[in-house]
Structure 1
Amino acid sequence: MSVLRKNIAFNTLLSISQILFPLITFPYASRILGPAGMGAINFADNIITYFLIFSALGIPMYGVREIAKVKGDPIALGKVFSELILIHLITSLLSVVALLVLSLSTQRLLANFQLYQIGMAILLGNVFIAEWFFQGIEKFKYIALRTVLIRLFTIVLLFVLVHSVKDLNTYYALNLVATVFAAVTNMYSISKIIKVSFRNLAFKHHLKPLLVIFSNSIITTIYLVFDSIILGFLTSNIHVGYYASAMRISKLSMVVIGVLSAVLLPRLTIAFKEKNWEEAKMLLHKSINFVMFLSIPIAIGTFCLSEEIIRLFAGDQYLPAVGALQILSFIVIFVGMAQVFANEILLPLHHERKILYASLFGMVVSLGLNFLLIPHFKESGAAITSLTTEFTVSMVLFYFSFKLFKLNFPWLESIQAICTSLTFFIVKMLVLKVTTVPVLVIIITVLLSACIYLVSQLYLWKNKHVLEVLSGFKIFNFSGGSR
């Protein structure tokens, strides 16, 4: 299991970078570009996200599973990779043409046409990143180190090139720079591992599962980003900017919760394929406990410090986003559980259709609530819709997953985590008597609250999983059985 521990460690490093780097770049960019500028970028980015999902055709999820199955056979590995990347290239070319036509024929998009030109280049570059290949063969060290280095480079470019709202296009083009560097380095690395050939390829057996996963991706994307698009059409870029800042901050916490999913998917695929139910149960039990142990204090802590977080990372001009952030702070719990049910149970067991059904239900809820709430509550209405949608999708996935694979959900541990996390409000109230400087309030409250939370888990609740982490074992002891 030492390899698994290393994979988790490097994926944790990757996740930490996904949190720390936006903490550096977002405060700077949000102040330079303002709510309207950030709103314009977020609106364009959400449009382009749809085309990225269409061009990917479900390959990022499907590819990990299929690569994991044949990673011990270089010939089969090369064949599967060649088939999937060719499919991705064809769909990406179609997506570029469709995005070009849409951006030229829609005045709302034509007003920022350069952003969509950059998006077209990102669409093509994204084909050759092929992150799913490295996840499938469990090269998480390579993924983490490469990503961190590229992000460091783009941070330098941000401070060198972006100085005013006129640099709107330059700011968004940094995504293209990162895409190109990732694509070049990945294709070079892949060429050293396998032989890419486009002869004697077979596509038919990929199409059915790809279409199911693709349909799920499209539907999921509708309820994940359509709120910003509806908000943009029904209100203005300023309200999109408020909502985007709240959503971006709330998404930082989701990164931590997603650490295990990418690492466990190849392992669970093999465990389910070999019908090794005990190993699968042990891995899933650890994963669910990990999600609940972290997501509950993160959610309550974000709610507690929402005003200070907005002031520090976005600026006072974004204070109207505080309400939206308070609502969105709890989304991390439901997204974390949905990842476990969908990516670690249903997908490895080849029940993609059940993920699709859950996403369809979420899409209906999202569309209905967005049009009902946004005209009256603007960014807060979009936030309520997102939270409600993620909750309903998580519950549907919970139902499907537990019918297939019986697990003991940590209800007691979850209640204990909630009770302990409520002390964060008392801690903040005491800290505010000493200082009201946002950065100091956040740092002191987080440190004191984290200590209270860990001590309570260890000595009050005697949480076995925390004891396991802090009593001389490796950070995640996946070699032990479930309790």
Structure 2
Amino acid sequence: MKKSRLLENIFSMVTLRAMEYILSFILVPYLLRVLGPAQYGAIAFMQGIIGYFNICITYGFNMTAPRDIAQAKEKDIPRLFSTYFWSTVLLWVGVTVLFFAGYGVLQTVWSVKLDLPLFFAVYTSIIGLVIFPIWYFQGIQEMRYITILNMVGRFVTMGLIFLFVRNPSDYILAALLQSCTPLFAGILCWKVIHDMSPGILHRPVWSDMKKAYKEGWQIFLSTLAINLYTTSDVVILGVLTNDTIVGYYSGADKLIGCIKRAVGAVNDAVYPYISKVMQESRERGIQFLRKQLMVYTVCGVVGGVVLYLLSPWGIPLLLGPKYIPSIGPLQIMSFVPLVVAMSNVMGYETMLPLGMEKIYSKVLLVASVFNLAIIYPLISWGGAEGTSWAVFCTETLVTVMMVGILWKKHILIRN
């Protein structure tokens, strides 16, 4: 039954990512062509800023909540659901207040200005993040609901984009509609939750919330570190160059992101399953992860070679001749999905279920420091291509450090 549920969840999440992949290959080229590098780059830059909201509000609950719910007795699930939901809401309110207070100071002292209409358009995705408890569906291992709800929201917003986004001046509307996908899915999910578990949401209990914050702290640090060498690279590129160069990089990054999301879908489905298996039999869990690592390696090498060779042909076809400068960044990042897939198995699926949160955090913090050390000289040297090299080198460093740690501890890599 467990294997059947796992296969169903993997199928659901892979189906979701496959549909996202297909829709992205329809939508992203359309937006890149219609909006142009500068306006699309402006959206990517703002999404990078909103990424900080995402990381603070998620906090680490995307990993601790599915694990806790998967391992909990049925009678304890309403308490856990309420704890994690209200903890997320509190973080959302706090982070929003702090941001606008900080922005007010920066605007007064240094005359820093944001494109506020664009900011609020992208900020809509944060509301969706808060009200859509994906971690709950992961924890009860019912991923099909994530797939269905996300796809309904995505089809609605995609249809609206094709209807109303026609030229570069529609970039704010384009950003808003893209950001509405999690909002629509979040609104719909509460009907599902109510039908499945009526009365599941209780009043917040501060002692439980405090415990959730404490348990999620190491994961939060890890996720913050990841953000420093992923989302922050786009923000730094925008600060040091301009929206057009950000657009060139983002064109390649969006295509790589489609592949990474497919890999992440499998990881998300496996994580609650492997957390429970590790609790019952560590040896059986390790055997499963070794097989997964072999599959990722073979597929990643073949896929990386194909992506590298087809980039000069694929970029003009998908994105248009204006995005010829995106070919170099895409080729540089061709093997990033492989490297990320390997590090996800060794970190997300191995270290976290085994309680190695502190080591996991340290690896990612070291990687983030490394990225910050190389990002400025690489951007100064190569702009969008320099940013791509920073991403590739940093992700490779993460994987190498995890291999070394697990090898030394005789976990996963050897007996």
Q: What TM-score results when the alignment is normalised by the length of structure 2?
A: 0.93
Q: Which letter maps to 1:255?
A: R
Among 179, 183, 188, the residue aligned to 2:186 = 183
Partner of 1:173: 176
Q: Output the amino acid matched with 1:161.
A: F
- Give 1:93 shift: 0.8
Q: Which amino acid aligns with 1:54?
A: C
Which shifted more, 16-25 or 286-295? 286-295
C-alpha change, 1:191 and 1:369, in structure 2 (3 Å) is: same
After TM superposition, list the pairs within 5 Å mapping 1:218-297 onto structure 2: 218-274=224-280, 276-297=281-302
Instruction: Determine if the alignment matches structure 1 residue 351 to structure 2 residue 356.
Output: yes
SS at match of 1:273: helix
Which amino acid counterpart does residue 55 of structure 1 have in structure 2? Answer: I
Note the C-alpha offset of 1:217.
0.8
Shift of the 62–8 alpha-carbon distance from structure 1 to 2, 3 Å rule, reads: same
Of all paired residues, the percent bearing the same amino acid is 26
Partner of 2:381: 376
Following the alignment from structure 1 to structure 2, what is the Cα–Cα distance between the partners of residues 40 and 254?
Answer: 23
The alpha-carbon deviation at position 175 of structure 1 amounts to 3.0
Larger Rg: 1
Kindly state the Cα deviation for residue 370 of structure 1 after the two structures are TM-superposed. 0.6
Whether 1:149 aligns to 2:155 is no
Query: CA distance change for structure 1 residues 113 and 287 in 2, over 3 Å: closer, same or farther?
Result: same
Quote the residue 1:87 is aligned against. Answer: 87
The structure showing larger relative contact order (alpha-carbon pairs under 8 Å, at least 6 residues apart) is 2
| Aligned residues: CA RMSD | 1.8
**Equivalent residue, structure 2, for 1:445:** none
Alignment of 1:208 onto 2:210: no
1:78 aligns with 2:78: yes
How far apart in 1 are the matches of 2:123 and 2:153?
A: 21
Query: How many Å apart are 1:2 and its aligned residue?
Result: 2.0
> Residues 257 and 294 of structure 1 are in contact (CA less than 8 Å); yes or no, is this contact kept in structure 2?
no
Matched to 1:351, the amino acid is: M
1:391 is matched with which residue: 386, 391, 396?
396
Letter in 1 for 2:216: L
Match of 1:306 among 311, 326, 343: 311
Q: Summarize the Cα distance change of 1:111–1:203 in structure 2 as closer, same or farther, 3 Å threshold.
A: closer
What are structure 1's unaligned runs of at least 5 residues? Answer: 410-483
Equivalent AA in structure 2 for residue 393 of structure 1:
V
Q: Is the 8 A contact 2:237 2:387 kept in 1?
A: yes
d(CA) in 1 for partners of 2:172, 2:255: 22
Q: CA deviation at 1:405?
A: 5.2
What's the CA shift for 1:408? 4.9
Structure 1, residues 353-393: CA drift from partner, whole Å, max 9, x if none?
A: 11111111111111111111111211111011100000001
Distance 1:142 1:109 in 2: 42
Look up the SS of the partner of 2:230 in the other structure.
helix
Shift of 1:85: 0.9
Counterpart code for 1:145: I
Moved more, 353-362 or 199-208: 199-208
**Counterpart residue type for residue 123 of structure 2:** M
Contact residue 27 and residue 313 of structure 1 kept, 8 A = yes
Tell me if 1:138 matches 2:144: no
* 1:86, distance to aligned residue in structure 2 (A): 0.7
2:378 maps to amino acid: L
1:108 Cα deviation (Å)? 8.9
SS in 1 for 2:81: helix
CA distance in 2, matches of 1:294, 1:285: 14
Match of 1:69 among 68, 71, 78: 71
CA deviation after TM superposition for structure 1 residue 120, in Å? 3.4
State how far apart, in whole Å, the 2-side matches of 1:388 and 1:62 are: 28
**Of 308, 318, 338, which residue of structure 2 is paired with 1:333?**
338
CA distance in 1, matches of 2:378, 2:204: 53
Q: How far did 1:146 drift?
A: 1.9
